[in-house]
């Protein structure tokens, strides 16, 4: 049976009941901000977890509902009629009001598009939280309070597409700010309430539990930062940017997406934890942009296969370092390829995604303590984080001529030396040393593990590969498996390749 489940990120309603499904790229200003710090109401105690069930959440809803608002945004959309083949048909020209003329000669047409989402009043002095995709590209944003239907014009203080967070501000003295909890203290099974304006029907409350925490589902792309709270509380189009609160009515997350085959709620919804939201909000309000820490490493999960090659327990947690960038904070701290980071600033690291989040949520120039496993032994290091910048990516990929064959475990892989022509063709830096893969048999174990033409083999079983001859010689002595370190698209990672004999 084919799995047809899809992630629906853009839950803001557009037009009447159409779903907006795109991401743009508005950013907070890079200039230093002059915005005042928000006046937040914080409560970091964990929710009570006695086994008694309440018969009503009405008192909780009365406290928090005034803090959840409707957000209406309007933007101008350009339509290029030249790309609309229907305009070749005179019937459709008349239908769209272009009888007797070719509208494509007029150039792009503009129209106004309206979106509806939700938001949360984060502070009494008018800061409002919502999703980036609710307000992105908007020419005008209006905020409507739930209790007295009072309407305000809102200013975008800043947005962060990488977490799908936007910070707005309205000027009106004092607003009913929500109480903010510590989302790190949420546990699976805690009762949560989702509040928003689904389908534009008006403020609606749904109840469920925390189904999971720390979810990463890929909806924000490779550059996004995902640490979602998963819940079965109903979330639908129009709920975007609304509140996920605990049983005490404290804000624990901002609702943002659902996993669904139909586009409607099927019990798998996602909210951005408020601790991550607060980090983004604080940076936007204080600095005018979201500055993130950078360690300067390429990391990957510790799979059972990799754990075996590094003599670690099969269930070892942490992040395996596949690359240490030159002159990076990691290199200066003494980190090496093959280290497994198991603690960051005293907190356990569960996997590579978790470490990436922890580093990104730490301010640049912060000194951090790291605990790593190196050759199965613990080692403590200290690093001073840099500031995250744009990643470089490699361009282009095609086969080289004159390959040699690597045998035994790497049977089916053909390699060649790295010369100046090959480096120019594949955009391989001069400091990369190894053997370039020129051909891979689709039936080979290497192909099944993702080895492709254009990859550069840097190491085989922790031994350096300087050229194609080294790769061939080292591969002849392999038995059941090989631990490769491979350069690809500007980064390096480890890959375990089983022998052909093991696959039979």
DSSP string, 139-176: SEEEEE-TTT--EEE-EEEEEETTTTEEEEE--SS---
Candidates 160, 164, 246, 417; catalytic one:
164
Q: Quote the pLDDT of residue 450.
A: 87
Q: Catalytic site residue 240?
A: yes
Whole-angstrom Cα distance, residue 357 to residue 341?
A: 13
Candidates 20, 67, 123, 133; catalytic one:
133
- Residue 66: other Cβ atoms inside 10 A: 18
pLDDT at 409 over 70: no
**What would the two tokens of residue 298 be?**
């390429």
- Residue 22: other Cβ atoms inside 10 A: 10
pLDDT at 157 over 60: yes
What 8-state DSSP symbol labels residue 442?
T
Identify the band that residue 7 occupies on the pLDDT scale cut at 50, 70 and 90. Answer: low
CATH superfamily of 293-387: PDZ domain (2.30.42.10)
More confident residue, 4 or 273: 273
Q: Catalytic site residue 420?
A: no
Burial of 433 (0-12, 13-18, 19+ CB in 10 A): middle
Listing DSSP states for 184-250 in one string gives: GG--TT-EEEEEE-GGGS--EEEEEEEEEEEE--STT-TT----EEEE-S---TT-TT-EEEETTS-
Q: Contact at 8 Å (CB) between 245 and 192?
A: yes
Query: What's the pLDDT tens digit per position in 251-287?
Result: 999 999 887 766 667 788 999 999 999 999 999 999 8
pLDDT at 490 over 70: yes
Q: Quote the pLDDT of residue 259.
A: 78
Nearest to 116 by CA among 16, 192, 206: 16
CATH 2.40.10.120 fits 1-45+59-290, yes or no: yes
Write the CB contacts of 400 (distance below 8 Å, at least 6 apart in sequence).
416, 422, 425, 436, 438
- In angstroms and rounded to an integer, the radius of gyration of the C-alpha atoms of the chain is 27
Beta bridge partners of 179: 41
Write the CB contacts of 152 (distance below 8 Å, at least 6 apart in sequence).
142, 143, 144, 145, 170, 171, 172
CATH topology classification for 404-503: Pdz3 Domain (2.30.42)
Q: Quote the pLDDT of residue 96.
A: 56
**293-387 and 404-503 agree in CATH topology:** yes
Whole-angstrom Cα distance, residue 230 to residue 212?
A: 5
Q: Catalytic site residue 354?
A: no
What percent of the chain lies above the pLDDT cut of 70?
A: 79
Q: Contact at 8 Å (CB) between 448 and 462?
A: no
Whole-angstrom Cα distance, residue 297 to residue 491?
A: 9
Tell me the whole-structure pTM to 2 decimals: 0.73
Whole-angstrom Cα distance, residue 359 to residue 363?
A: 8
More confident residue, 14 or 157: 157
Q: Quote the pLDDT of residue 392.
A: 33
Q: Contact at 8 Å (CB) between 382 and 370?
A: yes
**Residue matched to tokens 């901002």:** 254
Q: Quote the pLDDT of residue 138.
A: 87
Q: Quote the pLDDT of residue 426.
A: 84
Phi–psi pair at 467, nearest 5 degrees = -160, -175
Residue ranges of domains in the chain: 1-45+59-290, 293-387, 404-503
Query: What's the pLDDT tens digit per position in 12-34?
Result: 554 432 222 222 233 444 456 67
- HSE-CB at 452 with a 13 A cutoff on CA atoms is 7
Q: Quote the pLDDT of residue 503.
A: 41
Question: Residues 454, 491, 407, CA angle at the centre, nearest 5°?
Answer: 45
Q: Quote the pLDDT of residue 342.
A: 96
Nearest to 394 by CA among 364, 419, 359, 429: 429
Candidates 240, 328, 444, 446; catalytic one:
240
More confident residue, 121 or 1: 121
Identify the band that residue 501 occupies on the pLDDT scale cut at 50, 70 and 90. Answer: very low
Taking the CA atoms of residue 303, residue 301, residue 347 and residue 376 in that order, the dihedral angle to the nearest 10 degrees is 50
Determine the longest span between alpha carbons in the chain, in angstroms: 80
pLDDT at 51 over 80: no
């Amino acid at each position: 049976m084919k799995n047809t489940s899809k992630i629906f990120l853009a839950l803001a309603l557009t037009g009447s009941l159409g779903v907006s499904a795109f991401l743009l790229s508005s950013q907070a200003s890079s200039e230093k901000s002059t915005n005042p710090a928000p006046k937040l109401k914080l409560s970091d105690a964990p929710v009570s977890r006695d086994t008694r069930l309440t018969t009503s959440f009405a008192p909780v809803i009365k406290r928090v509902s005034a803090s959840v608002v409707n957000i209406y945004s309007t933007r101008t959309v350009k339509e290029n009629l030249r790309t609309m083949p229907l305009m070749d048909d005179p019937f459709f020209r008349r239908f769209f009001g272009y009888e007797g003329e070719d509208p494509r000669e007029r150039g792009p047409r503009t129209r106004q598009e309206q979106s509806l989402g939700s938001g949360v009043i984060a502070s009494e002095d008018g800061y409002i939280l919502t999703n980036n995709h609710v307000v992105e590209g908007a020419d005008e944003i209006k905020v409507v309070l739930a209790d007295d239907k009072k309407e305000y014009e809102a200013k975008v203080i800043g947005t962060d597409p990488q977490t799908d967070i936007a910070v707005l501000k309205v000027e009106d003295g004092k607003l009913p700010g929500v109480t903010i909890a510590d989302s790190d203290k949420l546990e699976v099974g805690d009762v949560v309430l989702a509040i928003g304006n689904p389908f534009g029907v008006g403020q609606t409350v749904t109840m469920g539990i925390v189904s999971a925490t720390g979810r990463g589902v890929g909806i924000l792309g490779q550059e996004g930062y995902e640490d979602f709270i998963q819940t079965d509380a109903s979330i639908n189009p129009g709920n975007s940017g609304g509140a996920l609160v605990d049983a005490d009515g404290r804000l624990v997350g901002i609702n943002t997406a659902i996993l669904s085959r139909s586009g409607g709620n099927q019990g798998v919804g996602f909210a951005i934890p408020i601790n991550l939201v607060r980090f983004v909000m604080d940076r936007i309000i204080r600095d005018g942009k979201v500055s993130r820490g950078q360690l300067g490493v390429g990391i990957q999960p510790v799979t059972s296969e990799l754990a075996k090659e590094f003599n670690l327990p099969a269930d070892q947690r942490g992040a395996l370092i596949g690359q240490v960038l030159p002159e990076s904070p990691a290199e200066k701290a003494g980190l090496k390829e093959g280290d497994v980071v198991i603690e960051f600033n005293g907190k356990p690291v569960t996997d590579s995604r978790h470490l990436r989040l922890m580093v990104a949520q730490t301010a640049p120039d912060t000194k951090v303590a790291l605990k790593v496993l190196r050759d199965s032994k613990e080692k403590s290091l200290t690093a001073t984080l840099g500031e995250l910048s744009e990643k470089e990516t490699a361009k282009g990929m095609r086969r080289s001529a004159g390959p040699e064959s690597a045998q035994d475990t790497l049977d089916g892989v053909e390699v060649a030396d790295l010369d100046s022509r090959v480096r120019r063709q594949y955009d391989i830096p001069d400091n990369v040393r190894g053997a370039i893969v020129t051909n891979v048999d689709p039936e080979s174990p290497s192909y099944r593990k993702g080895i492709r033409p254009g990859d550069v083999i840097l190491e085989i079983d922790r031994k350096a590969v300087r050229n194609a001859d080294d790769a061939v010689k080292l591969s002849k002595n392999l038995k059941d498996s090989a631990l490769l370190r491979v350069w690809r698209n500007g980064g390096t990672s480890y890959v375990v390749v089983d022998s052909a004999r093991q696959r039979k």
